[in-house]
Structure 1
Amino acid sequence: MTKVVYKIVRHENGWAYKARGTFSETFPTHDAALAAARRAAGEQKVPGETVGIQYETADGKWHEELDPGTDRPQTSVED
């Protein structure tokens, strides 16, 4: 299972959260960034819709699969 860690950091004269190398928008306070990170982490756990997906592998073959939308990452917030 994939794990996504949201870390609260100083960013552009304010605070942000960072996950997988990407910064969120900048928040004026640490508490605002922490609340946003907790919301984002919670939303990552919500199952999605069942959808059909198509993808091409490196050898040029196309594949079709049914993704049930239940393979959600484990999340955490580091303050």
Structure 2
Amino acid sequence: MVKIIYEIVPHDGGWAYRLGGAYSEAFPTHDQALEAARIVMLEQQVGDEPVTISYQDEAGRWREEYSDGGDRPEVEIVDTFVDEQRPPA
């Protein structure tokens, strides 16, 4: 199973959630960024219809996979900033 970890981080004068090297939009407060990450986390858990997925792999070959629509990733939010460590937004 795939595991996705969103981090709550200071970003662009405010706060954002980050996945890998990609940042969300900047939110004015830490709590708004945390709530947005929670919403995205819940959306990750919603199943879908079964479908065949076509994609190109790293070597340039086209692949097809069947997805049953229920194979949702495990999702976690990491927030290492406690109140007293939060820089002003």
TM-score normalised by the chain length of structure 2:
0.75
Question: Aligned Cα RMSD in Å?
Answer: 1.9
Task: Tell me what 2:54 maps to.
Answer: 54
Task: Tell me what 2:32 maps to.
Answer: 32
Q: Deviations over 1:22-74 (max 9, x none)?
A: 100000000000000011111111112211223456484x5544321111110
The one-letter code matched in structure 1 to 2:45 is K
Q: Are residues 28 and 50 of structure 1, via their aligned partners in 2, closer, same or farther at CA, if it must alter by over 3 Å?
A: same
Q: Give unmatched runs, 5+ long, in structure 2.
A: 80-89
The 8 Å contact of residues 4 and 20 in structure 1, kept in 2 or not, is answered as no
TM-score normalised by the chain length of structure 1:
0.83
Task: Tell me what 1:69 maps to.
Answer: 69
Q: Give unmatched runs, 5+ long, in structure 1.
A: none
How many residue pairs get matched? 78
Q: Runs (4+) of structure 1 moved beyond 3 Å?
A: 55-60, 62-65
